[in-house]
Amino acid sequence: MGSAVNVRYPRKAEIERAVQAAKACGIDVAGFEIAPGGIIRIMEPRANAVVANDFDRWADKL
């Protein structure tokens, strides 16, 4: 009657290959995110946080 949808997540080898490729490109890998359909997102750390107000600027000088 109904057809089952086959959702495939990335395999461990595919994730490892993506992380190694990112590192080979000079990306500092902070983590990764996987999603259905084989999607792998590589996340890198942010360099500097944006200081939002005067208090934060003052506190950073302490």
Domain ranges of the chain: 12-61
Q: How confident is the model at residue 1 (pLDDT cuts 50, 70, 90)?
A: low
| Residue-level pLDDT at 22 | 95
Instruction: Output the pTM of the full model.
Output: 0.64
DSSP per-residue letters across 15-54: HHHHHHHHHHTT----EEEEETTTEEEEE---S-PPP-SH
pLDDT at 40: 96
| Predicted confidence (pLDDT) per residue in 9-60, tens digit | 999 999 999 999 999 999 999 999 999 989 999 999 875 556 578 887 788 8
